[in-house]
C-alpha cells in the first residue's frame, strides 16, 4: 500500500505527523465534532451552487485556519478524488437531459455535468472541513469527545481499542509476512499464493481473537467491571463561544442560500 | 500451617483442556506472607493456567481456591482476589491498552473506586517509586520492551496488591532491563509467585522453588536441578 494511503484523515500523536498548533486546536473537541457534523449535513443537503461554493470556501478557510500541512492535505484530498473520478466522468453521460457535447456517439448532458460539479464541491467542502476540525484531533481525544457527546460506550471503546491495537496487529502481520519471505515466498498468481495468503489472513484473525481474550483477562485482573473512566476535562471556553457565534450564522447563511 | 500467614491456598486443584488433556492433576499449594515462590517447568506444563485459576480467569474442573480469608468460587468472589493479587502478564502489550501511560496506571485504582484525583496521584507516585517518573504522557505502544515491563509493573503495583503473580517477567528483556527488574522486585514487600525459565532470576529472587511437571507440583531435586555448566549460562 502506498505510504499516503496507510492512514486516512486522522492523525494521532503516535504517528509523528508534523502539525503546528493553530486556532482550531484551542477549541473544545466536542464543539468541533458537533459543528463539523452539522456543517457536513447542511452541505450535503444543499442544492444551490451559491451555497455550495460558499461551503467549499468555508472548508478552505477552516483548512487555512487549522494550518494544515498543504502537501499532506493535498495527498488526502487527491486520494478521495481518485475514488470519485469515475463517478464524475460518467455522470454527464448517464444523466438524461439537453445534449452538451458528444464523444464517440455518446452524448453528455449539461444537467449531468452540473450534478457532477455539485458532488465535487460537496465532497471537497466536507473533506476539508473534516480534516481541519476533526483530523487535527488525536484519535484518543476524538474518542473521548464522542463519549462525552453521549455516543454509545461500545462504539467509543471499539474505536479506542482499534487505535491502540491496530499497530500491534499490523506488526503481527508484518512479522508473519517477513517469516514467509524468509522462506522464499513470492506473491504469484497461483493457487499456492492464494492459499498462503488465506492462511496468513486466517492466522491474523485467530491471533487477534486470542489477543483480545488475553487483553480482556488482563483488564479483569485489574478490576475492570465494564466501566471506563475518562480523564480529560473538556471545558467550553470563551473562545468556543466566539467561534460558535461566527460559525453558526455562516451555517444559517448556507441554508438560506438554498431558498433564494 | 499457620492460617494467619497463608495468603492463597489451593487444594486438590485439577484442570484439563479439551485437546491438551490434563495439565493440573490434584495440585496442592500454599503461598505464605513474604514468600517468593519460583514456578518452573517445561513449556505447556500449565504454569500460566495455575495462575489463571488463582485469580478466577479459568474455573477449576475440581478442587478449591482459598484466598485472603475465604473460599473463592464465583466470578464475584474473585473480583476481590484480583484486586489483591496483582497479575503481570507475559506479554506487556496485552496489559497496556490505554493510549497513555498515566491512564493505564490509573486504570486499576479507578476500578477500585478511587476518585480521579486520588487515582492520578497514586499513578504518579507509583511511577516515581519505580523510577519511571516522566513517562506519564508517553504513548504505551511506543515504549521499549524494558519500559513496557516496568510500566506494567507500575500498573499492577498501583492497585497496592498483597501478592504479585508474575508470568515470565524477564521474557525478552536485555541484561540491563532484566537486572533493573530483579532489583525492583527484590525491594518489594509483596509475596510473589514467579513463573520463569530464567535460572539466574530465580536464584536471585526465589525463596522457594517448585516445579510443575505432568500435572504435579514437586520440589526440584535440590541444587542439581540444572547441571552447573548450564546454570552459569
pLDDT in tens, B41-98: 888 888 999 999 999 888 898 999 999 989 999 888 888 888 899 999 988 888 887 7
**In terms of domains, do A128 and A202 share one?**
no
pLDDT number for residue B4: 59
How much is the ipTM here? 0.75
Residue A230 lies in a domain: no
CA end-to-end span of chain B: 37
Residues (pLDDT < 70) of chain B are 1-4, 221-233
Residue A228 lies in a domain: no
Strand partners, B194: B38, B166
For testing contact with chain B, the best of A13, A137, A218, A230 (most B CBs within 10 A): A218
Q: CA-CA distance, B53 to B226, in Å (whole number)? A: 28
The pLDDT mean for chain A works out to: 82
**In terms of domains, do A105 and A214 share one?**
no
User: What is the sign, positive or negative, of the torsion defined by CA atoms of A139, A58, A85, A115?
Assistant: positive
Taking CB atoms and an 8 Å cutoff, what residues of chain B touch A218? 87, 89, 94-95, 97
User: Minimal CA–CA distance to B57: which of B27, B29, B86, B78?
Assistant: B78
**In terms of domains, do A140 and A160 share one?**
no
pLDDT number for residue A14: 38
Q: CA-CA distance, A172 to B103, in Å (whole number)? A: 25
pTM of the model: 0.70
**In terms of domains, do A43 and A132 share one?**
yes
User: Minimal CA–CA distance to A43: which of A259, A251, A247, A249?
Assistant: A251
Q: CA-CA distance, B114 to A7, in Å (whole number)? A: 37
Q: With an 8 Å Cβ cutoff, are B108 and A223 in contact?
A: yes
Where helices occur in B90-220 by DSSP H, the ranges are 92-95, 101-111, 116-129, 145-157, 175-187, 199-205
Q: With an 8 Å Cβ cutoff, are A218 and B139 in contact?
A: no
**Domain B3-224: what homologous superfamily?**
P-loop containing nucleotide triphosphate hydrolases (3.40.50.300)
Q: Are B207 and B37 in contact (CB under 8 A)?
A: yes
Cα A116-A118-A122 angle, rounded to 5 deg: 120
* Interface residue B148 vs chain A (CB under 8 A): no
Taking CB atoms and an 8 Å cutoff, what residues of chain A touch B124? none
* Interface residue A246 vs chain B (CB under 8 A): no
Residue A73 lies in a domain: yes
**In terms of domains, do A90 and A118 share one?**
yes
Q: Are B167 and B198 in contact (CB under 8 A)?
A: no
Residue A227 lies in a domain: no
B138 contacts: CB under 8 Å, gap ≥ 6: B100, B101, B147
**In terms of domains, do A244 and A125 share one?**
yes
Q: With an 8 Å Cβ cutoff, are B97 and A221 in contact?
A: no
User: Minimal CA–CA distance to A14: which of A177, A144, A138?
Assistant: A138
Cα distances from A59 to residues A8, A242, A246, in angstroms, run 18, 18, 14
Chain A contacts in chain B segment 85-144 (CB below 8 A)? 86-87, 89, 91, 93-95, 97-100, 102-103, 106-108, 110-112, 116, 119-120, 139-142
Q: Are B165 and B87 in contact (CB under 8 A)?
A: yes
By Cβ distance, the residue of A161, A165, A229 closest to B110 is A229
Q: Which residue of A has its CA nearest to B164?
A: A221
Tell me the count of A-B CB pairs closer than 8 A. Answer: 76
Q: Which residue of A has its CA nearest to B85?
A: A221
Q: pLDDT, tens digit, for every residue of A86-116?
A: 888 888 888 777 777 777 777 778 888 888 8
pLDDT number for residue B206: 92
User: Residues for chain B: how many in total?
Assistant: 233
Q: Which residue of B has its CA nearest to A214?
A: B94
**Helix, strand, or coil (residue A72):** helix
pLDDT number for residue A15: 46
Q: Are A143 and A163 in contact (CB under 8 A)?
A: yes
Q: CA-CA distance, A100 to A118, in Å (whole number)? A: 17
pLDDT number for residue A189: 86
Determine whether A72 is exposed, middle or buried from the number of CB atoms within 10 Å of its CB (0-12, 13-18, 19+). middle
**Grid coordinates of B184:** 525492583
**In terms of domains, do A91 and A175 share one?**
no
The answer to whether residue A242 scores a pLDDT higher than 80 is yes
Strand partners, B40: B211
Q: CA-CA distance, B52 to B50, in Å (whole number)? A: 5
Taking CB atoms and an 8 Å cutoff, what residues of chain B touch A11? none
H or E segment to which residue A101 belongs: strand A99-103
The answer to whether residue A182 scores a pLDDT higher than 50 is yes
Q: CA-CA distance, B224 to B199, in Å (whole number)? A: 12
Taking CB atoms and an 8 Å cutoff, what residues of chain B touch A211? 93-94
**In terms of domains, do A35 and A81 share one?**
yes
By Cβ distance, the residue of A14, A214, A220 closest to B139 is A14
Q: CA-CA distance, B109 to B119, in Å (whole number)? A: 5
User: Minimal CA–CA distance to B148: which of B95, B194, B103, B83?
Assistant: B95
CA distance A203 to chain B (A): 18
CA distance B55 to chain A (A): 7
Q: With an 8 Å Cβ cutoff, are B110 and A14 in contact?
A: no
pLDDT number for residue B221: 63
**In terms of domains, do A166 and A80 share one?**
no
User: Minimal CA–CA distance to A180: which of A167, A195, A165?
Assistant: A195
User: Minimal CA–CA distance to B57: which of B39, B36, B72, B42?
Assistant: B72
Buried residues in B126-159 as b, exposed as e (16+ CB within 10 A): bbeebebeebbebbbbebeebbbbbbbbbbbbbb
**In terms of domains, do A100 and A182 share one?**
no
Answer with the residue of higher pLDDT: A79 or B221: A79
By Cβ distance, the residue of A138, A225, A231 closest to B116 is A231
CA distance A105 to chain B (A): 58
Q: Are A107 and A197 in contact (CB under 8 A)?
A: no
List the domain range (segments joined by +) for residue A186: 152-221
pLDDT number for residue A65: 86
Q: pLDDT, tens digit, for every residue of A186-212?
A: 888 888 888 888 888 988 898 888 888
Q: With an 8 Å Cβ cutoff, are A220 and B57 in contact?
A: yes
The answer to whether residue A19 scores a pLDDT higher than 80 is no
Residue A239 lies in a domain: yes
The answer to whether residue A165 scores a pLDDT higher than 50 is yes
Taking CB atoms and an 8 Å cutoff, what residues of chain A touch B100? 140
Judged by phi (left if over 0) then psi (alpha if -120 to 50, else beta), residue B184 lies in alpha
Q: Are B78 and B72 in contact (CB under 8 A)?
A: yes
**Grid coordinates of B210:** 517448585
**In terms of domains, do A68 and A121 share one?**
yes
User: Minimal CA–CA distance to B40: which of B211, B160, B156?
Assistant: B211
Instruction: Number of helices (H) and strands (E) in chain B: give both, helices first.
Output: 9, 10
Q: CA-CA distance, A72 to A17, in Å (whole number)? A: 9
Domain count along chain A: 2
Where helices occur in A103-223 by DSSP H, the ranges are 110-133, 139-148, 153-182, 191-221
Q: With an 8 Å Cβ cutoff, are A229 and B97 in contact?
A: no
Strands (E), chain B: 6-17, 21-32, 36-40, 62-67, 70-72, 85-88, 163-167, 191-195, 208-213, 216-218
**In terms of domains, do A30 and A96 share one?**
yes
CA distance A14 to chain B (A): 7
Q: With an 8 Å Cβ cutoff, are B142 and A164 in contact?
A: no
pLDDT number for residue A1: 29
pLDDT number for residue A132: 86
Amino acid at each position: 500500500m502506498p505510504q499516503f494511503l496507510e492512514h486516512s484523515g486522522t492523525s494521532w500523536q503516535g504517528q509523528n505527523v508534523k502539525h503546528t498548533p493553530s486556532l482550531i486546536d484551542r477549541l473544545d473537541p466536542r464543539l468541533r465534532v458537533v459543528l463539523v457534523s452539522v456543517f457536513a449535513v447542511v452541505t450535503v443537503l444543499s442544492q444551490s451552487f451559491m451555497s455550495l461554493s460558499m461551503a467549499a470556501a468555508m472548508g478552505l478557510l477552516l483548512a487555512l485556519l487549522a494550518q494544515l500541512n498543504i502537501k499532506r492535505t493535498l495527498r488526502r484530498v487527491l486520494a478521495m478524488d481518485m475514488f470519485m473520478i469515475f463517478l464524475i466522468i460518467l455522470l454527464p453521460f448517464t444523466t438524461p437531459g439537453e445534449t452538451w457535447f458528444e464523444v464517440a456517439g455518446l452524448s453528455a448532458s449539461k444537467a449531468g455535468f452540473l450534478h457532477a460539479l455539485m458532488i465535487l464541491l460537496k465532497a471537497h467542502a466536507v473533506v476539508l472541513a473534516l480534516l481541519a476540525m476533526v483530523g487535527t484531533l488525536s484519535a484518543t481525544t476524538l474518542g473521548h469527545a464522542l463519549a462525552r457527546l453521549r455516543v454509545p460506550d461500545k462504539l467509543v471503546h471499539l474505536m479506542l481499542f482499534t487505535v491502540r491495537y491496530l499497530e500491534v496487529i499490523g506488526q503481527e502481520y508484518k512479522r508473519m509476512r517477513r517469516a514467509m519471505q524468509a522462506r522464499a515466498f513470492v506473491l504469484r498468481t497461483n493457487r499456492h499464493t492464494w492459499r498462503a495468503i488465506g492462511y496468513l489472513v486466517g492466522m491474523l484473525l485467530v491471533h487477534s481473537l486470542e489477543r483480545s481474550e488475553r487483553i480482556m483477562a488482563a483488564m479483569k485482573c485489574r478490576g475492570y467491571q465494564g466501566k471506563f473512566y475518562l480523564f480529560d476535562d473538556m471545558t467550553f471556553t470563551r473562545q468556543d463561544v466566539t467561534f460558535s457565534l461566527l460559525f453558526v450564522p455562516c451555517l444559517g447563511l448556507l441554508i438560506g442560500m438554498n431558498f433564494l | 500451617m499457620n492460617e494467619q500467614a497463608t495468603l492463597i491456598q489451593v487444594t486438590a486443584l485439577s484442570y484439563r483442556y479439551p485437546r491438551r488433556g490434563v495439565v493440573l492433576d490434584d495440585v496442592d499449594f500454599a503461598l505464605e506472607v513474604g514468600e517468593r515462590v519460583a514456578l518452573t517447568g517445561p513449556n505447556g506444563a500449565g504454569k500460566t493456567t495455575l495462575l489463571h485459576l488463582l485469580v478466577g480467569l479459568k474455573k477449576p474442573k475440581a478442587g478449591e481456591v482459598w484466598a485472603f480469608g475465604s473460599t473463592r468460587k464465583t466470578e464475584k468472589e474473585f473480583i476481590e482476589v484480583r484486586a489483591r493479587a496483582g497479575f503481570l502478564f507475559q506479554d506487556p502489550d496485552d496489559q497496556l491498552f490505554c493510549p497513555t501511560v498515566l491512564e493505564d496506571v490509573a486504570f486499576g485504582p479507578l476500578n477500585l473506586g478511587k476518585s480521579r484525583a486520588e487515582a492520578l496521584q497514586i499513578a504518579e507516585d507509583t511511577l516515581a517509586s519505580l523510577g519511571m517518573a516522566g513517562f506519564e504522557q508517553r504513548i504505551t505502544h511506543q515504549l521499549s520492551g524494558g519500559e513496557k515491563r516496568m510500566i506494567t509493573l507500575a500498573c499492577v503495583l498501583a492497585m497496592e496488591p498483597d501478592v504479585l503473580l508474575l508470568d515470565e517477567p524477564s521474557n525478552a528483556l536485555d541484561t540491563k532491563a532484566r537486572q533493573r527488574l530483579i532489583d525492583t522486585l527484590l525491594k518489594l514487600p509483596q509475596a510473589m509467585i514467579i513463573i520463569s525459565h530464567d535460572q539466574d532470576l530465580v536464584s536471585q529472587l526465589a525463596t522457594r522453588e517448585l516445579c510443575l511437571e505432568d500435572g504435579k507440583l514437586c520440589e526440584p531435586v535440590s541444587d542439581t536441578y540444572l547441571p552447573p555448566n548450564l546454570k552459569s549460562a
